[in-house]
Amino acid sequence: MNDKVQIKNCRPFTMIHNDFLDYEGLNSKEKLVMITLMRYDGTAFPSIPKLSKKIGLSERTVRYALKSLEEKNFISRHPRYTADGARMSNSYTITDDPDIWKSETSDELSEEISKQELEEMAELLRAAGYTIQSPTEQTASNLQSASQEQPSHSDTSDSEEVISSKNAEEYSMDYLYQYFNYDLICSFKNPYGGLNFLENEHDQKVLDTVFSVLYDMLNDPSAYIQIGQDSIPQAVVKNELLGLTFDAIIGVIDAYNNETEHGAIYDPVSWLRNALYKGNQPHIPDG
C-alpha cells in the first residue's frame, strides 16, 4: 500500500492545479519557475537573482528553465517601443492551459519521478505555504516589466538575454556550452588582474549574457541578421560566430567591461552582437 500524504494548516492563498503538477512535459525545476512567475502577474518581471533566491536553485539552473519554458511556448516575450520608436522594456506572457497539461498527464507517475521530482517540489511548495486545487479555467498571466530606464547590464542579463524569442532551435544552449568550452572559460583567471569568473559575480553575469546573445544569433531564422547598421547574410554571421576562439570570447568580455567602466555602451545587446561577430578580428569596433 502506498504512503499517504496529509497537509495540515495549509494557507489557501495560491492555487496549483493537479493537472499542471502531473504534467510530464516539464521537469520539477521548470514547474517551480513557472509557479513562482505566476505570482508576479501585473508586476515587474523578477530578476534572475531574485528568482534564484526564492526558488532555491542556482542562477544558471533558473536560466536553463526559463529558456526551456520559452522553447515550449509557455513563456513569450513581447518587445515594446515608445511613440518615437525608442526601445522600452519587454512585457512577458505566461500561459496556463489545462488542455496542454492533460495531453501528457499520466494516471500513475513512475516511482522514480515521484521520489526524485515530486518530493523535491512538495518540500519547497509546502515551505512556501502553497495549496493544491483541482483545475479550473484557462489563465493567462501578463508579466509587465515596469522599468523604462536606459538599458543597463543588469537589464540585459536578467531579461533581455535570458528570455529570448525563439522560432526553431538549431543550436541548443547545452551544445553551445560544450562547443565554446563554457566550463573552461568559467575557470579562467587572469594572472595579471581583470577577469576572474570564479570569484567575480559581475564577470560571470557578463559571460552568461554573452552566451545568451550567441544563442539568439545562432538560432535567428532571419535570412539577414542585423549587426550594427548592417544586415548581413545569416550564413556569414553564423560562420563568424562558430569560428570564435577561447581568446576571442575572453577578449569580447574584457572589452565590454572596459567600455562599461567609462559608460560608453548605450545598448549592451547591440554592442555584444557587433563585438561577437567581429570577435576574431584584431580590434573590436564600437557597437
Shared domain check, 75 and 172 = no
**Residue whose grid cell is 542585423:** 226
Q: Which of 144, 179, 202 is the last residue of a domain?
A: 144
Shared domain check, 158 and 82 = no
How many other C-beta atoms are found inside a 10 Å radius of the C-beta of residue 143?
Answer: 23
Edge-to-edge strands of the sheet including 91-96?
75-78, 91-96, 139-144
Q: Residue 92 forms beta bridges with which residues?
A: 77, 143
285 domain-assigned = no
Which range marks the domain in which residue 97 is found? Answer: 15-144
Classify 10 as helix, strand or coil.
coil
249 domain-assigned = yes
Contact 77, 52 (CB under 8 A): no
Shared domain check, 262 and 162 = yes
Shared domain check, 180 and 127 = no
What pLDDT sits at residue 188? 78
Q: Which of 89, 110, 144 is the last residue of a domain?
A: 144
- pLDDT tier for residue 233 given thresholds of 50, 70 and 90: very high
Shared domain check, 130 and 85 = yes
Q: pLDDT tens across 187-223, in order? A: 877 665 666 666 677 777 888 888 888 988 898 888 8
260 domain-assigned = yes
1 domain-assigned = no
Q: Of 271, 244, 241, nearest to 258 (Cα)?
A: 271
Shared domain check, 82 and 27 = yes
Q: What is the number of structural domains in the chain? A: 2
- Per the structure block, which three cell numbers stand in for 235? 550564413
Q: pLDDT tens across 1-18, in order? A: 555 555 555 554 556 677
Task: Please tell me the total number of residues recorded for the chain in this structure.
Answer: 287
283 domain-assigned = no
Q: pLDDT tens across 113-156, in order? A: 445 565 666 566 555 555 444 333 333 333 333 333 333 333 44
* 11 contact partners, CB below 8 Å, separation of at least 6: 129, 131
Shared domain check, 157 and 108 = no
Taking CA atoms, 61 is separated from 25, 53, 275, in Å, by 17, 12, 27
